[in-house]
Amino acid sequence: MRALAEMLSAGDVTSVELVQHYLDQIQSTDQDIKAFLHVDREGALQAAQAADERRKAGTPLSPWDGIPIAVKDNICTVGMPTTCASRMLKDYYSPFDAEVVTRIKGAGLPILGKTNLDEFAMGSSTEYSAYQITHNPHDLTRVPGGSSGGSAAAVAAGLCPWGLGTDTGGSIRQPAAFCGVVGLKPTFGRVSRWGLVALASSMDQIGPMGRTVEDVEILFSLIAGYDQRDSTSCPDSGYEFGNESLGTLAGIRLGIPEEFFGEGLSPEVAARVREAVRRMEDLGAEVRPISLPHSAYSIDTYLTLVTAEASSNLARYDGVRYGLRVEADDAVSMFKQTRTKGFGPEVKRRIMLGTYVLTASHHAAYYEQARRVRTLITQDVESAFEEVDVVVTPTTPSTAFRIGEKQDPLQMYLSDSYTAIANLAGIPALTLPCGKDKLGLPIGIQLMADHFREDVLFWVGRMLERSLKEADSSGRI
């Protein structure tokens, strides 16, 4: 991103030329990948023209003024549809911008369009979109991950330089790993959720996706910060880009939880992650074995809580307050027919599960028990960060699977088995590519740090990324 900013500053390229380049790429390539649900050609070019005029006048809004971006379609944007990839919100136009959209516009970033996702962000493959299935740019027969699969695929395919996604249980990190890009799930409360269509309000978080750790850090610095309209927003939560990483990882303590390297993990994924750990050790980091004893319950806990919160949050889509309305002879029939037609099968499944665990007869056995286990998981994480600075795990158990391969919902849910713990504990987590499998599919490594220590993640991530690139250029990996 620095290179693009320098070219814009020097006048070697204009923002209009840059935006047009990406629009041309979308037109020629996205018919196969299907990353975008909506492309705002006119709006993006108008924003680019304004950016060029500001640069000519010497008043750019930021060093990144004029560099375009893509936004996941569950984040509200004025002038573009916000459908959440659902028939329930077909043709819905928000009357306001989400806070993160206000911030990126305030930095001068033209928005190319809205990217595809699993309906209402419920899924791990972007196969559950009501409109189209997104394909992985590395292999069009495979999924890009989800639910932010559209943003991940767009960045990986060169359809945009960076993008915004959302992460409730791994929905930034898992698709980033599958597509071979970098993604950050920030500390809960560090990025405003105002204008994000809610899935699970105690875990949802908007975050950046890009091709390099530095690109993700830059975008994070633009969107992080306190917002009084978000009741979960944390004061003094801004982030300033510009702190250079040190030349080594000396003083960094890496924790390796062996619970994440057991049954169900692809041997190729395990090998690449352990190689990356050894590389960080060569850079001066101290490696320590640690234990997160309750992590085995993280996916069950996450699914119980996320379905309960989804059931509550999606109750508003009833044909009266929001979205689609199917007329019927009476109110009950109207509710039933509206929700039957408006929601897809995965959304219905999660609403039913969530409603079940919230019923009076099952509330204590499921929902309250899950909340207690969440506390235990959080305590495990807090104890770990008393001993180490960064916890290192694989991002996903495997590389990208084939479209249509996981028909069993439980198998699909296991795609988030290594990522959900960060959402339950509210900590930041970064994924970056650490190699490929024998089929050439990307493998991701996950770095987790204590609350508000994104700076540590970026430092370690940059150093590892540099080491991996040097090894790749020399042919050692």
Active site residue 171: yes
Q: Which two tokens stand for residue 300?
A: 């069950």
CA distance 401 to 237: 37
Amino acid type, 393:
T
To 10 degrees, what angle do helices 298-313 and 369-384 make?
Answer: 130
Q: Which contacts (CB < 8 Å, 24+ apart) does range 92-96 have? A: 92/322, 92/323, 94/195, 96/195
Find, among 201, 205, 198, the residue nearest to 317 by Cα.
Answer: 198
239, 224 Cβ separation under 8 angstroms: yes
Q: Cα–Cα distance between 31 and 140 in angstroms, integer?
A: 11
User: What count of residues does the chain have?
Assistant: 477
Identity of residue 65: D
Which among 34, 72, 114, 185 is annotated as catalytic? Answer: 72
Backbone angles phi, psi at 51, to 5 degrees: -65, -40
H or E element that contains 471: helix 454-473
Question: Which residue out of 15, 86, 94, 147 is catalytically annotated?
Answer: 147
SS (H, E, C) 46-94: HHHHHHHHHHHHCCCCCCCCCCCEEEECCECCCCCECCCCCHHHCCCEC
* 147 catalytic per annotation: yes
Catalytic member of 94, 171, 298, 398: 171
Q: Is 86 a catalytic residue?
A: no
In 188-331, beta strands by DSSP E: 206-210, 253-257, 286-290
243 SS3 class = coil
Extended beta strands in 64-222, E state: 69-72, 111-115, 162-166, 182-185, 206-210
- Which residues are CB-contacts of 307 (< 8 A; sequence separation ≥ 6)? 350, 351, 353, 354, 357
Amino acid making up residue 168: T
Backbone φ and ψ of 310, nearest 5°: -65, -40
Q: Are strands 253-257 and 286-290 parallel, antiparallel or unpaired?
A: parallel
Side chain identity at 248, as an amino acid letter? T
Q: How far is CA 119 from the centre of its chain?
A: 15
Tokens coding 190: 């560090």
Which residues are known catalytic residues?
Answer: 72, 147, 171
